Amino acid sequence: MSQKIFLIGLPGAGKTTLGLDLAVDLGVQFVDLDQDIEKAEKCSIREIFELKGEAHFRQLEKYHLEKVINEIDSFVMATGGGTPCFFDNMEVMQKAGTICYINTPIEEIQMRIEKDTTRPLMKTNTLENLLDQRKEWYRRADHTIQKYKELIAVFKS
């Protein structure tokens, strides 16, 4: 049976960490959308933002999101923090599978990403600003969770 699971949330929320664990537990492939883009473009997300701008990055993100949906039968995907907020990405994910919003407290995220210089939008935005901009999309997820045990319970029940 096909199972396509999308993890959304702020940068540093734990989408990749939780996604890897969930994929192993479910026996499906794990996809990190940002890493997928970096591999295909042969440069970092930060470099794409700096050299070609956010609009170009968002086009790449949409292309790779749809490519994975069309080419891989079952997976857990850690999306970029902004993935659901651009174009019709949220609707595309909703039609393809199940969306889980990783609702990690901002204080916890701040501790995780304080020294991370690879997150391009963290240079110009605070986490609170990003959450304000994105919460309407995040709220449209099928499930909102904070801990791994909540996430695995959704798919193992």
Q: Is 42 a known ligand-binding residue?
A: no
Strands 75-78 and 4-8: parallel
Query: How far from chain centre, in Å, is Cα 82?
Result: 7
Q: Is 15 a known ligand-binding residue?
A: yes
Predicted local distance difference test score (pLDDT) of residue 110: 87
- The domain total for the chain is 1
CATH of the domain at 23: 3.40.50.300
CA angle at 49 for the pair 45 and 53, rounded to the nearest 5°: 145
Q: Is 82 a known ligand-binding residue?
A: no
| CB contact burial 100-121 (16+ within 10 A = b; e otherwise) | bbbbbeeeebeeebeeeeebbb
Tens digit of pLDDT for each residue in 39-77? Answer: 999 999 999 999 999 999 999 999 999 999 999 999 999
Amino acid at 82: G
Q: Is 58 a known ligand-binding residue?
A: yes
Predicted local distance difference test score (pLDDT) of residue 116: 73
Q: Is 36 a known ligand-binding residue?
A: no
Tens digit of pLDDT for each residue in 11-45? Answer: 999 999 999 999 999 999 999 999 999 999 999 99
CA angle at 79 for the pair 24 and 75, rounded to the nearest 5°: 35
Q: Is 25 a known ligand-binding residue?
A: no
Q: Is 80 a known ligand-binding residue?
A: no
SS3 label, residue 40: helix
Range of the structural domain that residue 117 is part of: 4-156
Amino acid at 9: G
SS3 label, residue 135: helix
Predicted local distance difference test score (pLDDT) of residue 30: 99
Tens digit of pLDDT for each residue in 75-121? Answer: 999 999 999 999 999 999 999 999 999 999 999 998 888 767 676 66
